[in-house]
């Protein structure tokens, strides 16, 4: 099989016409705002994210000689300014890195952890599980932040610049401001009610008591000072210092407006939780698909195992030759099966016996793939299989539904001139996280602990995702890097979107590898998401198409989802060129840039 990057050379001409990064001013420098374009081709490295200022921050670091890891941290820090409802130092994430010199892939699990005093009853009150709304906007939902430790660990392991250096672009954006767009205003509006519960949050994100106007400049001097402090003191300021003490105080005594009437339940985070936190260096998951090597993140995220299992299930189906109807049918069924197995087997491996190797075995996938028929649909919720004892075409045990995860994370993808690559997804969980801003510090705290099951998803079967002391809630984050048989990068990608992250990454990969779409078109293609539910979610372009009727004729049922995911990716091209790709429309469109645009 030839490299996917050589199949659709026409994309290069389209990409060159769209590139405008060459004359972009540094982010937050008071000059012309960088252009927001979905695809760019050129030399010297590439960055793709949802935001033009953040992408430009990464490009600035690459242009000044930094490597992909330096640029990834710079981009992530800038997203903490411009995408504060999706990411920031109050959250966590998963970092996947390809080292060009050794041609190896490494990962960091920077997931938040539950307090050391937490138990399985964390979200149970008076014998009943809390409602999601009551749990989210409270101290109970806040896990020990992992993002600061992830940045420091990545820089210590593979970076070439100091933390203070890579934080400078983000600090500048926070100080001088960025331009409010429709997405930022609408996300603020959707959180307005609960933001008003907390005076510090309202003061920051509802300036003058009003929603920020589209086209206005939004500044965050408190976050600029926080980044300054981190640059001087390092991440010890969070895990051992005053900044950490402010986080603990906010969680344990939520600074709620008494007049709001909101019961912001206190959490139980302690200084010991911060001191004990570690970002974990661990082996990636690895799956072979169509002669390529697909690497992603291992548990505590279910992303690598679930994407990998679904790819293995589809391995023997010639997706490049079947009709669009059969392609989507097999994609949906593979997703359904993989999610059934995820729900039963994947949790934090420090607490649960997760059969990662067996979940990714072709033998187990084959035992599950034989359930799929061309002319019929499996019933959800589907019972899981047993990866340790695969039995052909047989499910065992009791089905468990997929728990809810927040939709608005963010993803960035970076490559440098040496060939190093980063795929990094970071989050504070749902849009706006817990809703609580750390007073005087300029950032929101996560609500990541609501990714735990509040009570067993099914009382008849062990739930590996219940809370526990110091436990990491299961994630769906799926940052992915694909290598060829010579261990050289082919493509790297990822997406936000809660549990839809898995199906988004899976669909973009198969559209790119099997359906031969250019990367930017694979990212833009309308999406489906099946997560072991009775109905499959479709974006409007699929829901309103003739394909929906043809799939319903097989037996599928659908519901509409206005928007699924917001992916970014980079692709290695011949002659040292990189292609960066982002969304055309979702989340207001993404931003792809290269250091030196190709003519």
Helix (H) or strand (E) holding 512: helix 500-513
Tally of CB atoms within 10 A around 131 = 11
What whole-number percentage of the chain has pLDDT above 90? Answer: 90
Lowest mean pLDDT, pick from 35-49, 155-169, 239-253, 385-399: 385-399
Specify the pLDDT at position 4: 33
pLDDT digit string, tens, across residues 316-357: 999 999 999 999 999 999 999 999 999 999 999 999 999 999
> Among candidates 167, 223, 177, 165, which has minimal Cα distance to 33?
177
The residues pairing with 571 across neighbouring beta strands, listed in sequence order, are 491, 579
Residue 223 has pLDDT above 50, yes or no: yes
Asked whether the beta carbons of 169 and 140 are under 8 A apart, the reply is no
pLDDT digit string, tens, across residues 183-196: 999 999 999 999 99
Specify the pLDDT at position 364: 97
pLDDT digit string, tens, across residues 158-178: 999 999 999 999 999 999 999
Secondary structure string (H, E, C) spanning 102-115: CCEEEEEEECCECC
Lowest mean pLDDT, pick from 56-60, 205-209, 400-404, 563-567: 400-404
- Measured CA to CA, the distance from residue 46 to residue 419 in angstroms comes to 10
| CA terminus-to-terminus distance, the chain | 29
> Among candidates 135, 149, 212, which has minimal Cα distance to 180?
212
Angle CA 356–358–364, to nearest 5? 135
Q: Where are the beta strands (DSSP E) in 216-265?
A: 217-218
Residue 459 has pLDDT above 90, yes or no: no
Cis peptide before 381, with omega less than 30 degrees from 0?
yes
pLDDT digit string, tens, across residues 195-214: 999 999 999 999 999 999 99
pLDDT class for 21, splitting at 50, 70, 90?
Answer: very low
Specify the pLDDT at position 457: 74
> Among candidates 511, 484, 479, which has minimal Cα distance to 496?
479
CATH architecture of residue range(s) 93-281+404-524: 4-Layer Sandwich (3.60)
Contacts of 148 (CB under 8 A, 6+ apart): 89, 230, 235, 238, 239
Specify the pLDDT at position 3: 31
Residue 401 has pLDDT above 80, yes or no: no
Asked whether the beta carbons of 519 and 443 are under 8 A apart, the reply is no
- Measured CA to CA, the distance from residue 475 to residue 306 in angstroms comes to 11
- Measured CA to CA, the distance from residue 69 to residue 414 in angstroms comes to 8
The predicted model gives 283-304 an average pLDDT of 98
Residue 451 has pLDDT above 80, yes or no: yes
Q: Looking at 64-146, list the stretches that DSSP marks H as alpha helix, in order from N- to C-terminal side.
A: 68-82, 132-136
Residues annotated catalytic, as ranges: 409
pLDDT class for 146, splitting at 50, 70, 90?
Answer: very high
Contacts of 420 (CB under 8 A, 6+ apart): 67, 68, 69, 97, 98, 99, 100, 158
- Measured CA to CA, the distance from residue 363 to residue 4 in angstroms comes to 27
Specify the pLDDT at position 80: 98
Residue 31 has pLDDT above 60, yes or no: no
Residue 458 has pLDDT above 90, yes or no: no
> Among candidates 143, 148, 147, 239, which has minimal Cα distance to 473?
143
- pTM (2 d.p.): 0.94
Farthest-apart Cα atoms in the chain, separation: 66
pLDDT digit string, tens, across residues 101-141: 999 999 999 999 999 999 999 999 999 999 999 999 999 99
Specify the pLDDT at position 1: 33
pLDDT digit string, tens, across residues 529-564: 999 999 999 999 999 999 999 999 999 999 999 999
Asked whether the beta carbons of 466 and 445 are under 8 A apart, the reply is no
pLDDT class for 461, splitting at 50, 70, 90?
Answer: confident
Residue 36 has pLDDT above 80, yes or no: yes
Specify the pLDDT at position 394: 75
The predicted model gives 463-467 an average pLDDT of 95
Where do the domains of the chain lie? 93-281+404-524
Specify the pLDDT at position 26: 63
Structure tokens at 240: 């051992």
Residue 94 has pLDDT above 50, yes or no: yes
pLDDT digit string, tens, across residues 481-500: 999 999 999 999 999 999 99
The predicted model gives 365-378 an average pLDDT of 97
Q: What are phi and psi of 93, to 5 degrees?
A: 170, -175
pLDDT class for 473, splitting at 50, 70, 90?
Answer: very high
Specify the pLDDT at position 17: 32
Specify the pLDDT at position 188: 98
Specify the pLDDT at position 219: 98
pLDDT class for 13, splitting at 50, 70, 90?
Answer: very low
Asked whether the beta carbons of 222 and 440 are under 8 A apart, the reply is yes
């Amino acid at each position: 099989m030839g490299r996917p990057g050589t199949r659709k050379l026409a994309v290069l001409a389209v990409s060159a016409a769209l590139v405008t990064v060459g004359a972009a001013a540094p982010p937050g420098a008071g000059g012309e705002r960088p252009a927001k374009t979905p695809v760019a081709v050129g030399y010297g490295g590439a960055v793709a994210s949802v935001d033009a200022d953040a992408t430009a921050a990464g490009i600035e670091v690459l242009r000044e000689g930094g490597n992909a890891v330096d640029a990834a941290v710079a981009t992530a820090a800038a997203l903490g300014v411009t995408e504060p409802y999706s990411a920031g130092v109050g959250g966590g994430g998963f970092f996947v890195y390809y080292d060009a010199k050794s041609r190896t892939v490494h990962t960091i699990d920077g997931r938040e952890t539950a307090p050391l005093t937490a138990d399985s009853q964390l979200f149970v009150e008076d014998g009943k599980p809390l409602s999601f709304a009551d749990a989210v906007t409270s101290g109970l939902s806040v896990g020990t932040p992992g993002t600061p430790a992830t940045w420091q660990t990545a820089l210590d392991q593979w970076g070439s610049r100091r933390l203070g250096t890579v934080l400078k672009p983000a600090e500048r954006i926070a100080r001088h401001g960025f331009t409010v767009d429709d997405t930022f205003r609408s996300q603020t509006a959707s959180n307005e009610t609960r933001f008003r519960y907390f005076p510090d949050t309202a003061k920051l994100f509802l300036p003058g008591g009003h929603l920020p106007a589209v086209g206005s400049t939004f500044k965050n001097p408190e976050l600029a000072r926080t980044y300054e402090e981190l640059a001087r003191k390092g991440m010890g300021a969070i895990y051992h210092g005053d900044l950490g003490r402010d986080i603990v105080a906010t969680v344990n005594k939520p600074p709620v407006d008494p007049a709001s009437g909101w019961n912001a339940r206190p959490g139980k985070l302690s200084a010991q939780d911060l001191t004990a936190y570690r970002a974990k260096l661990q082996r990636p998951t690895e799956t072979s698909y169509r002669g390529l090597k697909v690497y992603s993140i291992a548990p505590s995220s279910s992303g690598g195992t679930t994407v990998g299992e679904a790819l293995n299930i589809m391995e023997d189906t010639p997706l490049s030759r079947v009709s669009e109807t059969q392609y989507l049918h097999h994609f949906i069924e593979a997703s359904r099966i993989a999610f059934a197995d995820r729900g039963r087997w994947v949790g934090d491996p420090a607490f649960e016996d997760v059969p990662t190797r067996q979940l990714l075995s072709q033998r187990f996938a084959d035992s599950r793939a034989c359930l799929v028929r061309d002319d019929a649909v499996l019933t959800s919720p589907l019972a899981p299989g047993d990866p340790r004892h695969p039995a052909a075409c047989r499910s065992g045990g009791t089905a468990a539904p997929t728990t809810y995860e927040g939709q608005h994370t963010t993803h960035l993808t970076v490559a440098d001139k040496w060939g190093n690559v980063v795929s990094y997804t970071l989050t504070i969980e749902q849009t706006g996280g817990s809703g609580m801003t750390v007073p005087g510090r300029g950032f929101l705290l996560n609500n990541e602990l609501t990714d735990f099951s509040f009570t067993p998803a099914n009382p008849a079967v062990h739930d590996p995702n219940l809370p526990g002391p110091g436990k990491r809630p299961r994630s769906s984050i799926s940052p992915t890097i694909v290598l060829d048989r010579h261990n050289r990068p082919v493509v790297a990608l990822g997406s936000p979107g809660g549990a839809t992250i898995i199906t988004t990454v899976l669909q973009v990969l198969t559209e790119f590898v099997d359906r031969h779409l250019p990367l930017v078109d694979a990212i833009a293609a309308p999406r489906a998401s099946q997560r072991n539910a009775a109905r499959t979610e479709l974006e409007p372009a699929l829901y309103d198409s003739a394909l929906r009727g043809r799939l319903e004729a097989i037996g599928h049922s659908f519901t509409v989802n206005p928007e699924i995911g917001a992916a970014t990716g980079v692709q290695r091209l011949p002659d040292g060129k990189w292609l960066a790709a982002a969304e055309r429309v979702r989340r207001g469109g993404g931003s792809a840039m290269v250091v030196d645009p190709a003519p």
